[in-house]
Structure 1
Amino acid sequence: MSTLLSIEKRNSVLSSMAVLLEQERANLKTINQQDITNYSGDDLAMEKRLLVDDAKIDGMILSLQQLASQEDPVGQVRFNFTHENGLKISNKTAAFGTILIIYESRPDVTVEAGGIAFKSGNKILLKGGKESLLSNQKIVSLWHQALTDNAVSNSWVEYLNYDRTETQAFLEKPTQKVDLIVPRGGENLINFVKKHATCPVIVSGRGNNFVYVNAEADLDQALAIIINGKTSNISVCNALDKVLIDVNIPDWEVFAKKVVTELQQRNVTILGDSTISKTTNVPEIESDLIWFEEFLDYKIVIGTTNSDQDAIDKINTYCGGHSASIITKNDAVAQQFMDNVDTAAVYQNASTRFTDGGQFGLGGELAISTDKLHQRGPIGLQHLVTNKWYIYGDGQIR
């Protein structure tokens, strides 16, 4: 592990990187077009994430500027204690050491996740997907220039141009010390990393989010939240996949039909449980297993429930542990729901699309964790640290 860089050095590298991205904007877009031309897949969500346009570059630059202005996450005192024998004991945040980020198709991760890991005092290993190789190599060359310009070793940011076999070998027997792995991508990628990794992995990126429309919901709000959650961006993990409608809503059938009509107008494929299918004529689900699925597509499942507890139980059985929202004017009912639903983010009267580090005031995110250790939900700069105990004595023995 390299010696911890001063916060001034770290900020200076991030600021240099922001300037270089602006200078190399045209070149980066040209190189990215080559990646897009080479991409032969038919995964729309993947292609959308692969594109680097002006808006994406603006986002990368902004994230670096914000990171450079944020407080140092390392060395924050979390606990202080003075022992009766005079020992001064404190617990402070500390860098992990080396973080490996494995991701698919998103060159912006090379900047944003790399920046968060670097700002929090870590060496970064980047393993991007083959579909974005040229874009990633260009961005890493800019990282190296930013490091060199600040008299910092290039070894702080390293790109691993490995195929699947080489990646598996590295996960099982790393050729250098790795303290934490963050996979960002689909379930296949996450399962692959979990299966082969020999060090801690933060699992992120799986959604399957629920909205529960309670008997005391504002139905106009509910409709707008469902439409936004499902259709504003299908390719993200905070998109909506499941809706539960309380049959205690007065005229719930009218509301259900309205939801179906509005979604169909936006080309969403709708499946329903037997009650919804009979009421609205949408196809009935073939198996309850579909409740476990994340779609990342214009597809949704709508079901009915007859009590708050039933809704809570259903969500806890099937959801991905990411986000769940209750639509209700009854704050006590909402609180009960929010305290008992087992997801990283719980909402009252709002879209699950807000589960995001930038939206939550973290200034960006490394990942959205559905694990409970060591941080849950959006992982920002201040969470990408471990901790360390400092004990100051004067000859004390036990």
Structure 2
Amino acid sequence: MESVLSIEKRNKVLLSMATLVHQGQTEILKANLKDMSGFDNNDLAMYDRLKVDEEKIAGMVNSLRQLAGQNDPVGVERFHFTHENGLEIYNRTASFGTVMIIYESRPDVTIEAGGIAFKSGNKILLKGGKESLNSNLVLVDLWHKALTEHEISKDWVQYLNFNREQTRDYLINPDQKIDLIIPRGGEKLIAFVQEHATCPVIVSGRGNNFVYVSDEADKEKALQIIFNAKTDKISACNALDKVLVNKKIPGYKVFIQTLIDHLKGSKVQVLTDEGLGHFEGAEPVSDEKQWYEEFLDYKILIGATESAEEAISFINRFGGGHSAAIISENKLEANNFLSAVDAAAVYHNASTRFTDGFQFGLGGELAISTDKLHQRGPIGLQHLVTNKWYVYGNGQIR
């Protein structure tokens, strides 16, 4: 296998893959229907992630074409200087080498994450969940057809059809050098990978995202943003879970009741903290642990706060480090909030649903990292690289 594929070859494979996915729509949908038939749809978030329809396939095709059109992230000069002894020293981006992606339920990860890893010059090991096996095997077969069409080894994209025990053994003792592992899924999956992996792991962590409604908020904006962030896509890690409302907001009780009514109209279960007060249609929160929970469901928890400082402290204690928003017309207050909240993405007067590689202009994402090393937030094409030093001399010795 070549150490680094040329950008021309990588792009040709991506464009061929886009064509194959488009042409193979019927086969993909048939395989996904087989996966769906064996799935208990009581888990709404998992059901939404597992299901593939024509819109999702169009998204896969669009993602591959966009990736093919983006600049090569490998070999980009980060900086360069000339040493006093004449050495020319460069730092340039470089591929990791072999990237393993472990994910649950989402067949589109086989395309989007696989495409980003491949475009950035990495060999890809895909370990999907058993619930999406039929869909994933069809998509990986298309990857192999695209590679073969351009006389490139199938080893560049491999699918690991392992059970839990086999996955554990592979993490402990892989049959090849793995440079990076990215788990995409729940906290149990992430903990499992971190426990057994023998190479660096980038954590695509939980959401548990917050919105703080300031006493200087535009209430109509607040209602629209909260409703969108909660109900637009409950299975997404950027969906809203918690709301904190400043008690000093004018018309506090009317605002809270209006918010609850809006949410209940979309069948959202509304939990409230005892400090908020009693409101019709809401249920009291039963356990403080629910403040830590990522719901991934039509469920939301609303609490009260006395100040932005209190809200910041609360979010930093309970939040998942993913996304948080402030609704306020006070720019100074908003900027203080954005600086002080410890999250990968912070928002002023906007929905948390925008924490997404495609929405941020990255052409998609491999994952959304809640780690601080080496990349935080959406990991796009530009971030799935490390760096390398190039030093050019003329006989210099130290």
Normalised-by-shorter TM-score class: over 0.9
> Is the Cα contact below 8 Å between 1:276 and 1:282 reproduced in 2?
no
**Helix, strand or coil for the counterpart of 2:321?**
coil
Deviations 1:19-48 (A, max 9, x none): 111121111211221121232463222122
Rounded Cα–Cα distance in structure 1 between residues aligned with 2:46 and 2:35 = 12
> Is the Cα contact below 8 Å between 1:207 and 1:237 reproduced in 2?
yes
The 1:286/1:39 distance shift into structure 2, 3 A limit, reads closer
Note if 1:110 corresponds to 2:110.
yes
Deviations 1:281-302 (A, max 9, x none): 7332233221111100111111
State the TM-score, normalized to the length of structure 2: 0.98
Aligned-residue identity in percent: 62
Rounded Cα–Cα distance in structure 2 between residues aligned with 1:49 and 1:74 = 31
**Helix, strand or coil for the counterpart of 1:278?**
coil
Counterpart amino acid of 1:78? R
Which position in structure 2 is the counterpart of 1:57? 57
Pairing of 1:208-227 with structure 2 (within 5 A): 208-227=208-227
> Is the Cα contact below 8 Å between 2:44 and 2:297 reproduced in 1?
no
Which position in structure 1 is the counterpart of 2:380? 380
Which position in structure 1 is the counterpart of 2:184? 184
Pairing of 1:121-200 with structure 2 (within 5 A): 121-200=121-200
> Is the Cα contact below 8 Å between 1:93 and 1:385 reproduced in 2?
yes
State the TM-score, normalized to the length of structure 1: 0.98
Which position in structure 2 is the counterpart of 1:347? 347
> Is the Cα contact below 8 Å between 1:100 and 1:124 reproduced in 2?
yes
Pairing of 1:1-398 with structure 2 (within 5 A): 2-40=2-40, 42-280=42-280, 282-398=282-398
Counterpart amino acid of 1:164? R
**Residue 308 of structure 1: CA displacement?**
1.1
Structure 1, unaligned runs of 5 or more: none
Rounded Cα–Cα distance in structure 1 between residues aligned with 2:281 and 2:140 = 53
RMSD of aligned alpha carbons: 1.2
Counterpart amino acid of 1:79? F
**Residue 317 of structure 1: CA displacement?**
0.5
> Is the Cα contact below 8 Å between 2:264 and 2:281 reproduced in 1?
no
> Is the Cα contact below 8 Å between 2:364 and 2:380 reproduced in 1?
yes
The 1:17/1:299 distance shift into structure 2, 3 A limit, reads same
**Helix, strand or coil for the counterpart of 1:244?**
strand
Rounded Cα–Cα distance in structure 1 between residues aligned with 2:16 and 2:32 = 21
Rounded Cα–Cα distance in structure 2 between residues aligned with 1:300 and 1:39 = 26
Deviations 1:214-249 (A, max 9, x none): 011000000111111111111110000000000111
Rounded Cα–Cα distance in structure 2 between residues aligned with 1:54 and 1:281 = 37
Moved more, 233-242 or 274-283: 274-283
Counterpart amino acid of 2:181? I
Counterpart amino acid of 1:381? L
Rounded Cα–Cα distance in structure 2 between residues aligned with 1:251 and 1:201 = 47
**Residue 279 of structure 1: CA displacement?**
4.9
Figure out how many residues of one structure are paired with residues of the other and give that number: 398
Counterpart amino acid of 1:235? S
Rounded Cα–Cα distance in structure 2 between residues aligned with 1:280 and 1:355 = 32
**Residue 54 of structure 1: CA displacement?**
1.0
Rounded Cα–Cα distance in structure 1 between residues aligned with 2:318 and 2:101 = 28
Rounded Cα–Cα distance in structure 2 between residues aligned with 1:287 and 1:46 = 25
Moved more, 243-252 or 337-346: 243-252
> Is the Cα contact below 8 Å between 1:277 and 1:284 reproduced in 2?
no
Rounded Cα–Cα distance in structure 2 between residues aligned with 1:275 and 1:138 = 52
> Is the Cα contact below 8 Å between 1:50 and 1:107 reproduced in 2?
yes
Deviations 1:301-325 (A, max 9, x none): 1111111110110000000000000
Counterpart amino acid of 1:240? L
Moved more, 362-371 or 257-266: 257-266
Counterpart amino acid of 2:291? W
